[in-house]
A = this chain, B = another copy of it.
Amino acid sequence: MNPDIQALHDRFALQDLLTAYCYAVDRLEDVEGLVSLFTPDADYDLSAIGLLRTKGHEGIRAFFTRVFADMAHHAHYSANFTVQRLDGDAASTRAYVTGMGIARDGNCVTVHVDYYLDCVRTAQGWKIARFYEEPLLPMPGSLGEIHGREENHAA
């Protein structure tokens, strides 16, 4: 494919990868579909918002198994998506996300965060190799109440 056209297709594929992550996180039932968006050794880092950092499919699977069990509703809206670097089979993207959740116990949470994803092209398409997010606005206390619990389970 013409490289000028390839770059456009890559941009859409990278945005679709972020969207697939949002869809999977919000579906609350297909952990394997969610895990498959990451490389086997992916770095999944929520430490900047006060939650866990884990590496690889097993850790991501364990975290979201608990999250899906605890949450009744999820909605993650992305905005301001950009490709900050596209270099052959590696790319870095950034986007803002508003994440909303209602736990089964009724507790609610809304976060406004800045996602940084490092992605790699594989035989199965683009995958997330590093997932990192930072607060855009101060995190609400309910974030730790809801998801800190999952990490206590994990400990």
- The reply to whether the CB of A123 lies closer than 8 angstroms to some CB of chain B is no
Given A102-B137, A102-B138, do A78 and B75 touch, yes or no (CB 8 Å)? no
Instruction: Across the interface, name the chain B residue whose C-beta is closest to A7.
Output: B9
Complex interface: stretch among A16-24, A36-44, A62-70, A147-155: A16-24
The verdict on A98 contacting B80 (CB below 8 Å), with A2-B5, A8-B12 known, is no
In the complex, chain B residues whose CB is within 8 Å of the CB of A23:
80, 94
* Oligomeric state, in copies: 3
A4 close to B (CB within 8 Å):
yes
Min C-beta distance of A136 to chain B, whole Å: 4
With A19-B80, A80-B22 as given contacts, are A75 and B12 in contact (CB-CB < 8 Å)?
no
**Bound: A33/B108 CA distance, A:** 37
Q: Give Cα A5–Cα B20 distance, bound, in whole angstroms.
A: 23
- Are A9 and B19 neighbours in the complex by a CB distance under 8 Å? no
Query: A98 and B82: CB pair below 8 A?
Result: no
Closest to A138 in B: B73
Contacts of A77 in B (CB 8 A): 77, 79-80, 96, 98, 112
Bound CA–CA A22/B78 (angstroms)? 14
B5 and A9 contact, CB distance less than 8 A: no
Q: Quick check: is A26 within 8 A (CB to CB) of the other chain? A: yes
Tell me the minimal C-beta distance from A26 to chain B in angstroms: 7
Bitwise, A87-129 to B at CB < 8 A (1) or not (0) is 0000000101010101000000000100000000000000000
The 3 closest A-B pairs by CB, nearest first: A77-B79, A75-B136, A19-B80
